[in-house]
A and B are shown apart, each in its own frame.
Chain A
Amino acid sequence: MKVTFPHLGNAYIAIEALLQGLGHEPITPPLSTKRTIEWGSRYSPEDICLPFKTILGNMLEGIELGADSVYMLGGWGPCRLGYYAEIQRIILHDLGKKVKFVTLEVPRGNWRMARERLRHIFGPTRTRHFLRGCQLSWAKLRAVEQLEQRSLQARPLEKDHGSTSRLLETQLQKLRMAQNMKTISRIKAETDEALQDLAAATASHAVLRVGLVGEIYTVVESFVNLRLEERLGRLGVEVIRTISLTEWVEEHIFKNALGLYNQYELLRSSRGYLHSFVGGHGLESIARSVEMANAELDGIIHIFPLSCMPEIIAQGILPQLSADKKVPILSLVVDEHAGETGFQTRLEAFVDLLQRRCTYVRKEKSLSRC
């Protein structure tokens, strides 16, 4: 089966490996571009959130490349993501695309359809190949995450602008081709070394540390967030990303499906601000912000797509948190009309503010010591 799937940051590297293990031929849609969003929003309901439109665009581009099946994640609320797949299936069907649409979710009621789906997914594979695919895919996902994490630390220190991003790109492509565990760990070590070479011997300025919270799709999908992490890195900011793909896969997908998803830790952190799960990453946004404010980070950036219900609640609560914990927070909303220049201006202003604040706070501290 030629299977296409939507993008989620650099997760395609791991998804490809998994699909190969399952005996399918992965048709990876091209990385999201303006065309993807335009195409997706043309056929989407107008007031749906941006991830829906981009994902639909990915699917259409995947089908254009010759895919005959589409795999998409499902769910049971309260976030809209749970119903994405069903609406996308309807839209593709109405557009006359002859594809098999497979929604990956815990079945409820309709067992015949569930069996059909399972047969479609696991039909062409053997257990041995499947297990190997799982292992490779998980290792790749973790490696992707690690490389990205390292590059976040390295970027504010780089000698010439853009070198980290270029290196990351080539290493990710190598990782995509990797066929065994050994190669993966070699690539990881190689990248670590190379990143150290890129760093300037002495940092010309103090590196600001800014936490990034928000809706997962806008956090990890660099096209949708207008390459936020790169922009911040270039402004000399180290980004602490709190949303991780591996964690999302583990907690939200597997544990949630089995009913083991435990929010106790998060609820404890967000006590006093938010006392329940609100769907998506709303609770995480608040809980992680509290944790980062306690860890004395210089600032927090909160990003989400327009009309995202869980994050709107978080956005309403964050100003109070900002005042209580004395940490600057910038809320950014993205949709298909987000303009790069306005975005850059806001980031620069925010970073300027943080820098001034940082020197001011340091001065105050040294004064109090005298």
Chain B
Amino acid sequence: MYYFHYHTLWQRYFENLGFKVVVSPPTNKQILGWGLSSCVDGACLAVKSLVGHSQALVKQGVELLFVPKIVSVSRREYTCANFLGLPDLLRQYLPASVSILSPTIDARKNTRTLRRSYLSLGMQFASSLAARRAWRDAAHAQHVMEQSAQSQFPVQGKLKILVLGPRYLIDDPYLSNNLCGHLQNLGAAQYTAGQVPEEASVQLVRVLAKPLFWSDARRSASALEHFIQRIDGVIKIAPFGCGAESFASVLIARRACERQVAMLDLIVDEHTSEVGMITRLEAFCDLLERKKSG
């Protein structure tokens, strides 16, 4: 589920360690269908699609599946309660012949532990020196990728829209019903939380009376702060039943209301249709254009 954050890091790291890395194909109807038919019904869309993806990989003959238990990626924060039990949940849906590689990644105390947990993972398969070398190269690639994402500002569009939400939705065209593509077609320039540097994000969130302890929600809240002067509207997307996002919505809606920025709150699940999504986006953009032209 954090693939869109760390795919460079993971792929490079494992390749350096001498693995043949197989990445599941982009989400499609069949993959989500596999997930839906086996996963527990209360889980959110992202977990269901993850189950589908891992089954797709198993069908491709993968023997070792990398599903890290990402407890936390920054100090005093959690990712999501679902992530903590993810490897154990996934175990239920996979044949016993597939082993799951799930290192615990926990940066609640400090972010240096991230490096340590990846290194100890690498040392299971390679010498300490090789693991270090692989890590340095992968971490560098990741850093370059993050830098380029931050400097990548959208081309001019007639509307400037901030798209907020977890990246496993925004960056996945199938799960988000191609939200970003449709916005592009409507001629909107998009800003995302990924363009805010992490340090700035941690600082910005101080405007809240109580800091949010979920990383994704915190990034959303601070991205709004960061871009609030520049944007015409905010679109917030969340999977149905997501705990962190439902609270973030309240905070974001309140702040957007204070600053008179229009906001569209979208909740998606496996029954969301693309047509309904397009209608709402068109209506929202029309509204923004009207507001802009006074």
Checking B76, B82, B251 against A108 with a beta-carbon cut-off of 8 angstroms, the contacting residue is B76
Q: Which among B26-34, B139-147, B152-160, B236-244 touches the partner chain?
A: B236-244
Q: Which residues of A contact B47 (CB under 8 A)?
A: 312
Judge if B181 is at the interface, Cβ distance under 8 Å.
no
State A193–B174 Cα separation when bound (angstroms).
Answer: 64
Asked if B247 and A274 sit within 8 Å, CB to CB, the answer is no
State A77–B85 Cα separation when bound (angstroms).
Answer: 15
Asked if B80 and A309 sit within 8 Å, CB to CB, the answer is yes
Near B by CB (< 8 A), chain A positions 349-367 give none
Report A95 CB to chain B, min CB distance, Å: 13
Asked if B80 and A78 sit within 8 Å, CB to CB, the answer is yes
Report B216 CB to chain A, min CB distance, Å: 12
Near A by CB (< 8 A), chain B positions 195-227 give 209-214
Please judge, given known A-B contacts A45-B250, A49-B243, whether A278 and B84 are in contact too, CB under 8 Å.
yes
Judge if B130 is at the interface, Cβ distance under 8 Å.
no
Interface string of A198-239 (1 = CB under 8 A from B): 000000000000000000000000000000000000000000
Q: Which residues of B contact A313 (CB under 8 A)?
A: 81-82, 84-86, 88-89
Q: Which residues of A contact B241 (CB under 8 A)?
A: 47, 306-307
Q: Which residues of A contact B212 (CB under 8 A)?
A: 83
Judge if A299 is at the interface, Cβ distance under 8 Å.
no
Judge if B11 is at the interface, Cβ distance under 8 Å.
no
Report B270 CB to chain A, min CB distance, Å: 15
Interface string of B248-261 (1 = CB under 8 A from A): 01110010000000
Q: Which residues of B contact A307 (CB under 8 A)?
A: 42, 240-243
State A280–B243 Cα separation when bound (angstroms).
Answer: 13
Q: How many residues of A are in contact with the other chain, CB < 8 A?
A: 44
Please judge, given known A-B contacts A77-B214, A80-B247, A108-B211, whether A274 and B42 are in contact too, CB under 8 Å.
no
Report B81 CB to chain A, min CB distance, Å: 4
Q: Which residues of B contact A274 (CB under 8 A)?
A: 85, 88
A80, A276, A315, A317 — which one has the most chain B CB atoms within 10 A of its CB? A276
Q: Which residues of A contact B40 (CB under 8 A)?
A: 312, 315-316
Checking B89, B210, B242, B254 against A316 with a beta-carbon cut-off of 8 angstroms, the contacting residue is B89
Q: Which residues of A contact B81 (CB under 8 A)?
A: 77-79, 278-280, 282, 309-310, 313
Report B239 CB to chain A, min CB distance, Å: 10
Near B by CB (< 8 A), chain A positions 69-86 give 74, 76-80, 82-83, 86
Please judge, given known A-B contacts A47-B240, A108-B211, A317-B89, whether A276 and B250 are in contact too, CB under 8 Å.
no
Near A by CB (< 8 A), chain B positions 239-287 give 240-244, 246-247, 249-251, 254, 267
Asked if A276 and B85 sit within 8 Å, CB to CB, the answer is yes
Asked if B42 and A86 sit within 8 Å, CB to CB, the answer is no
Checking B82, B209, B240 against A309 with a beta-carbon cut-off of 8 angstroms, the contacting residue is B82
- Nearest A residue to B254 via CB reads A90
Judge if B128 is at the interface, Cβ distance under 8 Å.
no
State A47–B71 Cα separation when bound (angstroms).
Answer: 24
Report B43 CB to chain A, min CB distance, Å: 5
- Nearest A residue to B245 via CB reads A47
Near A by CB (< 8 A), chain B positions 40-98 give 40, 42-43, 47, 69, 71, 76-82, 84-89, 92
State A102–B217 Cα separation when bound (angstroms).
Answer: 24
Judge if A333 is at the interface, Cβ distance under 8 Å.
yes
Judge if B39 is at the interface, Cβ distance under 8 Å.
yes
State A333–B240 Cα separation when bound (angstroms).
Answer: 16
Q: Which residues of B contact A265 (CB under 8 A)?
A: none
Report B255 CB to chain A, min CB distance, Å: 11
Q: Which residues of A contact B247 (CB under 8 A)?
A: 45, 48, 80, 83, 87
Near B by CB (< 8 A), chain A positions 309-334 give 309-310, 312-317, 319-320, 333
Judge if A340 is at the interface, Cβ distance under 8 Å.
no
Q: Which residues of A contact B211 (CB under 8 A)?
A: 108-109
Please judge, given known A-B contacts A82-B213, A333-B42, whether A45 and B88 are in contact too, CB under 8 Å.
no
Q: Which residues of A contact B82 (CB under 8 A)?
A: 278, 309, 312-313
Asked if A312 and B250 sit within 8 Å, CB to CB, the answer is no
Q: Which residues of A contact B150 (CB under 8 A)?
A: none
Judge if A277 is at the interface, Cβ distance under 8 Å.
yes
Judge if B104 is at the interface, Cβ distance under 8 Å.
yes
Asked if A45 and B84 sit within 8 Å, CB to CB, the answer is no
Please judge, given known A-B contacts A83-B210, A279-B81, A306-B241, whether A316 and B39 are in contact too, CB under 8 Å.
yes
Asked if B104 and A47 sit within 8 Å, CB to CB, the answer is no
Q: Which residues of B contact A315 (CB under 8 A)?
A: 40, 42
Q: Which 8 A-B pairs have the closest CB atoms?
A: A313-B85, A307-B241, A309-B81, A78-B78, A316-B40, A279-B81, A77-B213, A278-B85
Given contacts A309-B82, A313-B86, 7 further A-B contacts (CB under 8 A): A47-B267, A48-B243, A275-B87, A306-B42, A307-B241, A312-B40, A312-B82
